[in-house]
Amino acid sequence: MLYAIISEDVKNSLERRLAARPDHLARLEKLRDEGRLVLAGPHPAVDADNPGDAGFSGSLVVAEFDSLEHAQAWADADPYVIAGVYANVAVKPFRKVLP
């Protein structure tokens, strides 16, 4: 089943994000390589593709997991969680309708 992992950053998270980004991306690339990743990306803190020093306000990952518990465990082990980038993370079942 698909799950949405919706994360919100702490204030001024950019430096922490940049430090943890390689490990964060490696986990996402593993999901992609396994054919389980639907989409992933950050929410810019301002209305721009490249927010510069404004950074990001959170992230969204939609991926396939065996259960809600597995999705939650994967989210809890995210390098951004460990680095203190996220203030909170919600994991919810997701049903893709379109496209």
- Can you list the domains of the chain with their CATH numbers? 2-93 (3.30.70.1060)
Neighbours of 74 (CB within 10 A): 18
Q: Whole-prediction pTM value?
A: 0.95
Read off the pLDDT of each residue in 74-99 and give the average, rounded to a whole number.
Answer: 97
Dig out the tokens for 15 from the structure.
């430096």
With H, G, I as helix, E, B as strand and everything else as coil, classify residue 80. Answer: helix
pLDDT in tens, 20-68: 999 999 999 999 999 999 999 999 999 999 999 999 999 999 999 999 9
Dig out the tokens for 42 from the structure.
């950050």
Residues in contact with 9: Cβ distance below 8 Å, sequence separation at least 6, in sequence order: 17, 55, 56, 57, 58, 59, 85, 86, 87
CB 60, CB 44: distance < 8 Å = no
